[in-house]
Structure 1
Amino acid sequence: MAKQIDPAKMSRRQQVVETFRMSKEVDRALPWWMLGAFLVFGAIGFGIFWILPGSGTFALVMAIVGGVLVGLLAMMIVFSRRAQRAAYARLEGQLGAAARALTMLRRGWQLEEMIGFTKQQDMVHRVVGPPGIVLVGEGNASRLRPLLTSERKKHERVAAEFPVHEVVVGPGEGQVRLPELVRHVRKLGRQVKPAEMTDILYRLKALDAQRPKVPLPRGPVPTSMKGLRQNLRGR
């Protein structure tokens, strides 16, 4: 079995190649979609630059260069969208999938994985960000409900004046599907200021100090998510 490499130690080219390889395992049509986007939008770009004022060799060169640039941009957009979809497909159904997806939240967000759990491997993660405190549960909905209620009470005791949100990941009614999780959390709005977030995190330190650290299992799936975050978003 090939040894997994930490994405942080990869070059940008290696990360893109790894993201493409893992995405292609799930989405076999990915290369054809990328090729189609390059050809179609490259042709459109060529046409746009060709009709601009100018003539002769210079106009032809500019049309070719413009077409290639537009085609490459379209190809990378298609790559980004389909690779992200493939990454979520790889994550879905795996232990700790919600925590892996939540790593897509970067600037202005603080993620703590598995702050609560059951013996049946149901778990609750916490994100602190502009909406306040967001408790994200994954697992069996009936077992998660008392676990989320318990965690909510703990958090309200130490940060009563700040909003606490509950999210359950899953396909059921009132739940949020994994591919929509990050967008759903972001759409909870801005209810706390950056300075207040610092205050929240300080208050939660004492609460977290009482918890046993149970690390989530790592594997090849997070690599794809990190590759998307670091490369396709240009960060």
Structure 2
Amino acid sequence: MAARASQPARNPGFFSQLRTLYTFTQQSYSWLPWMLIGSVLLGAAAGVGVGFLIPPVAVWSVILWGVTGLLAGILVGLTLTTRLSSRAMYRRIDGVPGATGHVISTSLGRAWQASEYPVGVNPKTQEAVYRAIGRGGVVIIGEGARGRLTRLVNDERQKIQRVASGVPLTVLYVGHGDDEISIAKLAPTIKKLPRKIDRATMAAVIKRVDSVSQNLTSLPIPKGVDPTKVRAPRPR
């Protein structure tokens, strides 16, 4: 008998994602259950209050407004949980080698192209350089000790200037020192860069840079971040 074809893995359902989101966030914020209970109770109470304030006051009106407030409280709780989960993720990966690659490959959106793989890395010290290309130009991000990143950053800068002369080039360093950016603010900082090139120029820059870049997958990823374990789950 022919072997039965393996069933494709199912995506987790909505409630399964909610449970994972809750568990992930509560590990960093133990007071999360009380916040959720409070938001639901306050929402329901606010709805009942509105029901008594808006004439004509009737039982069905109070119940309807109460249910509306309850649903609003649930929505507020879910929104706050999602935001807290993002903060929890950044707290966990802050200072971990490879965190920069995880953030720029998942948080910049379609307006930027970036990879979780570094474009330059020192396998002995785990210093690494990453690159993102978008409407704001080319961004080089250094991760690790600032002093030991000089050569890696300069090599990448010279390569970009050689093949994409005139394109805005920004250099950022991830950390908590002077002129450094925390991992939580990395993606927002890149997204705020003013748009200086159009989509056609962006595509041309990506093609030129890729033509002179080594195979990114041949470089070792700094040990420390497993994106499948630190990504904050979000309900669909």
Same fold (TM > 0.5): yes
- Indicate yes or no: 2:79 matched with 1:71: no
Contact residue 90 and residue 221 of structure 1 kept, 8 A: no
Helix, strand or coil at the partner of 1:106: coil
- Indicate yes or no: 2:110 matched with 1:111: no
Percent of residue pairs identical: 27
55 and 49 in structure 1: CA distance in 2 versus 1, 3 angstrom threshold = closer
- Indicate yes or no: 2:233 matched with 1:227: yes
Q: CA deviation at 1:49?
A: 4.7
TM-score w.r.t. length of structure 1: 0.84
Q: CA deviation at 1:21?
A: 1.5
Contact residue 49 and residue 67 of structure 1 kept, 8 A: no
1:85 corresponds to which residue? Answer: 87
2:103 corresponds to which residue? Answer: 101
2:4 corresponds to which residue? Answer: none
- Post-superposition Cα deviations, 1:9-65, rounded to whole Å, max 9, x if no partner, equal 433433332232222222212222222222224422443354334432331232122
TM-score w.r.t. length of structure 2: 0.84
The AA in structure 2 aligned to 1:106 is G
Task: Identify unmatched segments of 5+ residues in structure 2.
Answer: 1-8
1:35 corresponds to which residue? Answer: 37
Matches within 5 A, 1:1-235: 9-102=11-104, 103-112=106-115, 113-118=117-122, 119-209=124-214, 213-214=218-219, 216=221, 222-225=228-231, 227-228=233-234, 231=235
More deviation in 8-17 or 142-151? Answer: 8-17
46 and 106 in structure 1: CA distance in 2 versus 1, 3 angstrom threshold = farther
Q: CA deviation at 1:212?
A: 6.0
RMSD of the TM alignment (CA)? Answer: 2.4
Q: CA deviation at 1:204?
A: 1.6
The AA in structure 1 aligned to 2:151 is P
Helix, strand or coil at the partner of 1:124: strand
Q: CA deviation at 1:180?
A: 1.1
68 and 134 in structure 1: CA distance in 2 versus 1, 3 angstrom threshold = same
The AA in structure 1 aligned to 2:184 is P
Q: CA deviation at 1:107?
A: 2.0
Q: Aligned residue pairs: how many?
A: 224
99 and 210 in structure 1: CA distance in 2 versus 1, 3 angstrom threshold = closer
Task: Identify unmatched segments of 5+ residues in structure 1.
Answer: 1-6
Helix, strand or coil at the partner of 1:20: helix
Q: 1 or 2, which has the higher helix percentage?
A: 1
User: Residues of 2 paired with 1:50 and 1:108: CA distance?
Assistant: 48
173 and 185 in structure 1: CA distance in 2 versus 1, 3 angstrom threshold = same
More deviation in 142-151 or 9-18? Answer: 9-18
164 and 63 in structure 1: CA distance in 2 versus 1, 3 angstrom threshold = same
User: Residues of 1 paired with 2:225 and 2:19: CA distance?
Assistant: 18
